[in-house]
Amino acid sequence: MIRSSVAARSSRAEITLQHVCQLYRRYQDDLRVVRKEQRELRTACPEMKTQLDDLEAEITYLLMREERPATVVEIGSLHGWSTTWILRALRDNRAGALVTHDLIDNARHNVPAELAEGRWTFVPGDARETLRGHRHSIDHLFIDAAHTASFARWFVGELFPTVRAGTTVSVHDVFHRRRPWPVSEGRVVLSWLANNGAGYFTPSRLAAARVNRELKELKQRLGLLKPVHDGLDDPMLFFRMP
Ligand SMILES: C[S@@+](CC[C@H](N)C(=O)[O-])C[C@H]1O[C@@H](n2cnc3c(N)ncnc32)[C@H](O)[C@@H]1O
């Protein structure tokens, strides 16, 4: 069953609909600016492939504003869409650094220099190699890479044990439907969460329809509904590392 809250084993607030709504209200002015900047980026780089939908990108931004991670690790930047959302959160925090791991380096051409300067490191290569024995103290882990069960078995088995309890983790492309496919990254992550007694939050249109609707209603009241990105699924899953 989908739970819209996270049973966090940390002092941080649980990730719930109520918490996310509070963050929308708290950071609405900055978010308005970032949404405009991201729209302008898409216009300036029309060939840029962009994957994150608006709710999941905004929740990523809002959680980072609230939690002020010192080190964010991103796996899977493609052309830099999620990367620029994350970097704007760190810029607005005036603190924090992002380390991005990807097989391809297209993001390097799209991320504005003033956003990258002093806060962004790009590591080319297969994350299973580039993160082997890593020395990051990860404060937020963002995963949007290979959506296969075998890749997920790598990150739950090898990477998750290196991330301390309470850290915010997000995994993309889990809930394009009400439930993930039986053999998929999402299925592996959900099983791992269940085995470890951890809940999760998703704004997915199909898996958490009420959450998705209420967030859009709030955005309408705040004047934040005009689309930045055209996707509507918001399949990302957020949780605190148990
Ligand atoms: C879905 S795209 C990321 C989309 C991006 N986050 C966005 O918001 O537009 C997946 C990315 O993961 C990268 N990727 C796939 N397998 C990988 C691996 N083993 N290690 C590092 N990156 C990988 C791909 O090269 C691709 O750029």
pTM, entire model: 0.95
Residue 209 contacts by C-beta under 8 Å, 6 or more apart in sequence? Answer: none
CATH second-level architecture of 2-240?
A: 3-Layer(aba) Sandwich (3.40)
Could you give the percent of the chain with pLDDT greater than 90? 90
Which tens digit of pLDDT belongs to each residue from 207-230?
A: 999 999 999 999 999 999 999 998
Domain positions in the chain? 2-240
How far does the centroid of ligand 1 lie from the alpha carbon of residue 128, in Å?
A: 12
**Element (H or E) spanning 17, and its range?**
helix 17-26
Given this model, what pLDDT does residue 13 score? 87
Which tens digit of pLDDT belongs to each residue from 92-106?
A: 999 999 999 999 999
Given a cut of 70, is residue 1 above it in pLDDT?
no
Evaluate: CB of 78 within 6 angstroms of ligand 1.
yes
Give the residue from 26, 143, 132 showing the smallest Cα distance to 73: 143
| Strand 168-171 versus strand 237-240 pairing type | antiparallel
Given this model, what pLDDT does residue 208 score? 97
How far does the centroid of ligand 1 lie from the alpha carbon of residue 105, in Å?
A: 10
Which comes out higher in pLDDT, residue 28 or 182? 28
Res. 11 pLDDT band, cuts 50 70 90: low
Given a cut of 80, is residue 9 above it in pLDDT?
no
For residue 33, count other CB atoms closer than 10 A to its CB: 11
* Atom in ligand 1 nearest the alpha carbon of residue 50: 9
Ligand 1: residue of 103, 126, 131, 151 to mutate (most ligand atoms within 8 A of CB) is 103
What CA–CA distance (Å, rounded) separates 73 from 83? 10
The SS3 of residue 155 is helix
Average pLDDT, the chain: 94
Evaluate: CB of 27 within 6 angstroms of ligand 1.
no
Evaluate: CB of 104 within 6 angstroms of ligand 1.
yes
Given a cut of 60, is residue 72 above it in pLDDT?
yes
Evaluate: CB of 50 within 6 angstroms of ligand 1.
yes
Which tens digit of pLDDT belongs to each residue from 99-153?
A: 999 999 999 999 999 999 999 999 999 999 999 999 989 999 999 999 999 999 9
Given this model, what pLDDT does residue 182 score? 86
Given a cut of 80, is residue 6 above it in pLDDT?
no
What CA–CA distance (Å, rounded) separates 33 from 199? 32
